Structures are given as structure tokens and as C-alpha cells.
Amino acid sequence: MKLWRCVYDFIMREKLLVTLLILFLLFLIYDHSLVERVPEYVNMNALIVIFTLLMISRSLHVSGLTNQVAVRILSRTKGLPRATLFYIVLITYLLAPFIMNDGAIFVMVPLVIVVAELSGHEEALLVTLVALSANLASIILPIGNPQDIVIWTHYGVSLPDYVLASLPLYFLSLGLLALYVIFLSRRLVIKKLPLLPRVRLDKKLSIASIASLIAIIITAQLKNPLIGLIITLALILLSRPRILIEVDYSLLVVFLLMFIDFSEIPHLLGVQSLISMLTPFQVYGVSLVLSQVISNVPATIAIIRHTVYWKPLFAGVNIGGVGFLPGSMANIIALRLSRMKIRDYHRYALPFFIVLGLLGLALVYIGLYG
């Protein structure tokens, strides 16, 4: 009886992992040759980066640094809803292009959870705003997220041309997000801010965490994140070895299964032959919709070899990242790091996604992404 209870509790706690595992087993039963494609599907460098960032995120929290920054944010904004939301969006927008959207999620989500606990603001709202901001802010540089790295390198676009092409969507999404913050903050109740706690900072662990973050960013961009992982492991073992026990290892399994499942779906559907005939409008639409089903990185990989229209692809997969939860891996990370329910994420993300998706279509129509 206890065993069944443990199994039930695990399924309820790890719904996403269990769903992805069942999907993998069904694919395997349907086509045994999937085993041979697994090494091709799994991005080991990405898994190394994710594992490293999981450790850094935990060490930043344990060090007290995230708590200290959270207290300073609330001290500056006095807990006022609109000021707090704008502050969170601004910090995420400044971080994401340089540490990638996933990196910004790992840094900011633990931070806003503390902000929510201290201020009484809804955690799901703050976490969703971080996810939206991280996905959209990261598009300004080609190193900001995985799908743009793929597009940038595949089409051989120069850095100035890439940045110039990204500006309309970047500023459009920033302006729309600012309006959304104003709209959402009007519905929030202003609560009296409690006496903010004094935060004890472990300087040694904080320095080790920041150094690890810099190391993994540099080594990931040099395509050798294993060195960043080794540096992080060494610094954590010297500072606080227990952090290695507290890492969410099940999230690694989630990403492993995502790489396999979401890469296998295009293979089974056989959509590659149809993509080459798509117009810019259709490339935008297909990449937008496909991102909702298999995530924007696999959608990029599925489409990119069969179209010359990189700009509507760029717009489609990046706007697609802020839609349904599977749209971007950053959304999955945000969900796992927080106590947010999937329906709460969709409650805030989907209205924004629908408006931005229509505005993106207008950008394609006027030729900016044609």
C-alpha cells in the first residue's frame, strides 16, 4: 500500500516528467529505430549548461544573495504593484540577452519567489512576467537563446544585420509588455509592506555562485560548457557541497525526454517536404503553431533546412515561445523552479501571446519580416 502511495505521489508531483516518459515509450513501441536516433536528438552541451545552472540557481538562493536583492527591490518600490512589476521586467530584460533566456529564468525565478513571499503579490503573475521577459528580451542578440543561435549560424547572417532585423519585434514586445504590466497592476491590491527581514549573506558562496555563472556563460558561448561545469562543481564543493544533493535532478530527465520526444514528432509527421513550399506568411504561421506543440527550438530545427525565409521564421519561433507552456524550454524551467500551476501560467501568458501573435503577423504583412 505504501509503495502505491509513493508511486501516486510521484506521478502527481512529476506530471510533466511522467507525461514525457509515456510519450517516449509510445514512440519507442511504434518505431524501435528511435533508439538509434536518440544520440542525434539529445543536445549534451545544453544538458550540461542546464545542470550547471541548476546548481548555480540553488547556490545563489542558499547564499542569501537572491533574498538580499529581493529585499532591495521591495525597499525601492515600497511594494507598490506597478513599480515592483516594472522593476522585475526591467532587470530580466537587462539580463536575458547576455546570460540567455534560460539563464535569466534560473537567476530571476528564485528571486521573484522571495519577492512574492515578502510582498504578498501573486507568485504565478511574477514568474510568468519573468518568463515572458526572458523569452522576448533575449532576441536582441543571437546568443540570447538557442533557436536564434541556430538561425544566426545556419543562414550566416552578420551580427549587425541580425540585430537590425530583431529591433522591430524587440521594441514591439517591450512596449506591449509595458502596457500589459500597467493593465495587470491596476487589478492588484496595494498591501501594506511588512517589516523586511535582515538577510544574512554568505559572501564566499555568493562569489562562488557569480564566478560559476560567468564561467558557464563564457564556456557555453565557446561551445565547451564542460569546463564551466567542472569549475562550478569545484567551487561548490569548496563552498557548500550539500548543494549537490539539493539540485532538482528530475528536471534534467525532463529536458532529456523533451529533446527526444519533441525531435521525434517532426520525424513521424514527415512535415519536412511540405515546408519548402511555404510563403513567408505560412512560415510565420507554421513556426508559431509548431512551437506550441514541440517547443520553439525543435520547431526551428524542423523548418530551417527547408526555407530561405529566415525573418518570418525568427518572428514565429520567438513569439511562439511566449504561448503555451511547451513553446519554450524557459517556460518549463520557470514552472519547475516555482510552485506555479500550468493553468495559472496560461491565464497570464495566453492573452499576451494572442495580441503579440497578431501584431507579429502585421510585421510580416508590412514586409519587416517578409
Task: Give the pLDDT mean for 240-249.
Answer: 88
DSSP-assigned letter for residue 308 = S
Q: Cell numbers at residue 347, please?
A: 491565464
Q: Is 142 domain-assigned?
A: yes
Close Cβ partners of 127 (under 8 Å, ≥ 6 residues apart):
109, 112, 113, 334, 335, 337, 338, 340, 345
Q: Is 2 domain-assigned?
A: no
Q: Which domain holds residue 37?
A: 14-365
Q: For 279-338, what is each residue's pLDDT tens digit? A: 899 999 999 999 998 889 888 888 887 888 999 999 999 999 999 998 998 998 899 888
Look at the chain and report how many structural domains it folds into: 1
Q: Is 141 domain-assigned?
A: yes
Q: Is 4 domain-assigned?
A: no
Dist. CA 317–CA 252, nearest whole Å: 23
Answer yes or no: is pLDDT of 118 > 90. no
Dist. CA 349–CA 347, nearest whole Å: 6
Dist. CA 98–CA 319, nearest whole Å: 19
Q: Is 235 domain-assigned?
A: yes
Answer yes or no: is pLDDT of 192 > 60. no
Q: Provide the 3-class DSSP secondary structure of residue 78.
A: coil
Task: Give the pLDDT mean for 88-115.
Answer: 85
Residue 159: per-residue pLDDT: 83
Residue 314: per-residue pLDDT: 97
Q: Is the dihedral of CA 249, 251, 255, 260 positive or negative?
A: positive
Residue 79: per-residue pLDDT: 66
Residue 191: per-residue pLDDT: 60
Q: Is 3 domain-assigned?
A: no
User: ∠ CA 328-331-333 to the nearest 5 degrees?
Assistant: 115
Of the candidates 275, 179, 230, 226, which has an alpha carbon nearest to the alpha carbon of residue 46?
226
Provide the mean pLDDT of the chain. Answer: 86
Answer yes or no: is pLDDT of 196 > 60. no
Q: Is 281 domain-assigned?
A: yes
Identity of the residue numbered 241: P
Half-sphere exposure of 69 (CA within 13 A, CB side): 16
When pLDDT is cut at 50, 70 and 90, the band that residue 128 belongs to is very high
CB 32 within 8 A of CB 26: no
In this structure, the number of other CB atoms found within 10 A of the CB of residue 54 comes to 22
Q: Cell numbers at residue 172, please?
A: 514591439
Q: Is 77 domain-assigned?
A: yes
When pLDDT is cut at 50, 70 and 90, the band that residue 199 belongs to is low
